[in-house]
C-alpha cells in the first residue's frame, strides 16, 4: 500500500528592490536549501512552486511536511535575489491550498 504523502503549503511574500519572476524566486529558494542542507537535504524537500502572482509578489510553494522547518529556515536565510537585496517572508503555512488561501487572504 502506498503511504499517503503529507505536504505543507507556504504562502510567501517577496520583497525586492527590482521586479522578480517566478523563476528568480524558485532559484533563490533552491539555492538557499542547497546552501544550508546540501543536495541530500534538498532532495528530501520535494519543493514545488504552486502559484506566483508578480503583481502582488505573492507565491505559494509546496514542500514535504517533514522538512517544513528546514525549508522555512532556508527561505528566511535568503538576503538577495539576482544580486539585489531581497527578502522572502512566510506569511502562512497550511496543509491544504484552500486553507492557506483563506489564511493568507485574512
Partner 1 sequence: MRRFVDLHLRAPIKDLDQVERMVRKSSELGYRLVGILLPPSVTRDQINQLQHICNDAKIDLVTRVNFSPKTPRELLHNLRRFRRKFEVISVTCTSKGVARQAAKDRRVDLLHFPATNLRKRFFDHAEAELASKALSSLEIEMAPLLLLTGFLRIRLLSRLRREVAIAERLKVPVTISSGATNEYLIRGPHDYAALTTLFDMAMPSALRALSENPLAIVERNRAKLSPDYVAPGIRVVGRKSGD
Residue ranges that bind partner 1, judged by CB under 8 A: 15, 35-36, 69-70, 72-73, 75-77, 79, 85-87, 89-90
Nearer to partner 1, 2 or 81 (CB): 81
DSSP 33-56: HHHHHHHHHHHHH--EEEEEETTT
DSSP 51-79: EEETTTTEEEEEEEGGGHHHHHHHHHT--
CB of 93 to partner 1, least distance (A): 8
For residue 85, the SS3 value is: strand
Phi, psi of 17 (to 5 degrees): -75, -20
Nearer to partner 1, 36 or 49 (CB): 36
CB of 68 to partner 1, least distance (A): 8
Cα separation, 7 vs 21, whole angstroms? 24
CB of 4 to partner 1, least distance (A): 24
CB of 1 to partner 1, least distance (A): 31
Cell matching residue 30:
533552491
Nearer to partner 1, 26 or 36 (CB): 36
Nearer to partner 1, 4 or 83 (CB): 83
Amino acid at each position: 500500500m502506498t503511504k499517503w504523502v503529507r505536504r505543507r503549503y507556504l504562502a510567501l511574500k517577496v520583497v525586492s528592490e527590482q521586479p522578480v519572476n517566478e523563476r528568480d524566486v524558485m532559484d533563490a529558494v533552491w539555492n538557499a536549501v542547497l546552501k544550508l542542507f546540501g543536495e541530500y537535504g534538498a532532495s528530501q524537500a520535494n519543493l514545488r512552486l504552486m502559484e506566483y502572482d508578480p503583481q502582488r509578489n505573492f507565491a505559494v510553494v509546496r514542500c514535504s511536511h517533514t522538512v517544513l522547518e528546514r525549508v522555512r529556515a532556508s527561505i528566511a536565510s535568503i538576503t538577495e535575489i539576482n544580486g539585489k537585496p531581497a527578502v522572502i517572508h512566510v506569511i502562512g503555512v497550511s496543509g491544504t491550498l484552500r486553507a492557506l488561501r483563506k489564511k493568507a487572504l485574512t
